[in-house]
Amino acid sequence: MSDLTFLKLPKIRDGYKNIWLRNFLHFKKTFLVSFFWVILEPLMYLGAIGYGLGSYIQTINGQSYVDFFFPGLLASTSMMVPFFESTYNNYTKLTFQKIYNHMMLTRLDTYEIITGELLWSTFKGFFGIVGLVFIASFFGLVSGWEIILVILLLTLNSWIFSGIAMSITSWAKNYDSFIYATSGFLIPLTLISGIYFPISQMPVLLQITTYIFPLAHTIELCRMILTEQWHWVGYFHLLYLLIAAYVFFALALMRITKKLIN
């Protein structure tokens, strides 16, 4: 019989809370910088693309353009924020600052450290989403209770991309590696995942490609929830996201552990 132990949830002790706390205390010191780029940048996109460019478009899939664009913008924020946190920042902690090695001098094990870091990146994504939703509510973009479900879903998306980014960090040779990851993976992904226009507009090959990655699934689900047009395909999207959440978490645990103890 094949070995299925990898399907078991890894055992994580409660020390991860203190890793999260360390990041939170640091965040409090640099709150304004974080606020600026986590929330203001997507707001600029909302203005420029949603309202600016969107004013030339009558309707898209029966919605106003800005209503169509908003869930995509939320999803891209929930991806970008944890991605940058877990690549540039965590790479610095792993290599130059040796923060993880410093934590390893205590009773903390690698799983606690990595889990704490992923939860922090996820929290930062959550922080960005909630901030954006709050401001967008003044523009009348948020209409009902469904937004709570959407925020939960986007937090799951943040968790997935934290795991992906942390795994990339484990392979990175220097900061330039992240330029490849950003320009070669992240930015193209935002262009083909249905943020700016429906996926059905693209050639079939690109449509298939985009569903390999989690972002398109998240956006589809968000749109289904916000337009209250639930379809059974939604369960598959959700299943995909749950599997991705587990797989990239396990990958990050394995990869970074190898970096810390060899």
Question: Which positions touch another protein (CB under 8 A)?
Answer: 13, 15, 18-19, 21-22, 25-26, 29, 97-99, 101-109, 260-262
CB-nearer residue toward another protein: 102 or 231? 102
CB-nearer residue toward another protein: 111 or 213? 111
Closest approach, Cβ 90 to another protein, in A, equals: 13
Closest approach, Cβ 23 to another protein, in A, equals: 10
CB-nearer residue toward another protein: 98 or 231? 98
CB-nearer residue toward another protein: 96 or 145? 96
Cβ atoms of 73 and 132 closer than 8 Å? yes
Closest approach, Cβ 166 to another protein, in A, equals: 19
CB-nearer residue toward another protein: 29 or 205? 29
CB-nearer residue toward another protein: 70 or 100? 100
Phi, psi of 60 (to 5 degrees): -140, 125
Closest approach, Cβ 20 to another protein, in A, equals: 11
Closest approach, Cβ 17 to another protein, in A, equals: 9
Phi, psi of 261 (to 5 degrees): -125, 115
Closest approach, Cβ 112 to another protein, in A, equals: 9
Which tokens belong to 140? 């009348």
Closest approach, Cβ 101 to another protein, in A, equals: 6
DSSP-derived secondary structure for the chain = ----GGGSPPP--TTHHHHHHHHHHHHHHTHHHHHIIIIIHHHHHIIIIIIIGGGG---BTTB-HHHHHHHHHHHHHHHHHHHHIIIIIHHHHHTTS-HHHHHHTSS--HHHHHHHHHHHHHHHHHHHHHHHHHHHHTTT---STHHHHHHHHHHHHHHHHHHHHHHHHHH-SSTHHHHHHIIIIIHHHHHHTTSSS-GGGS-HHHHHHHTTSHHHHHHHHHHHHHTT---THHHHHHHHHHHHHHHHHHHHHHHHHHHH--
CB-nearer residue toward another protein: 19 or 241? 19
d(CA 199, CA 195): 9
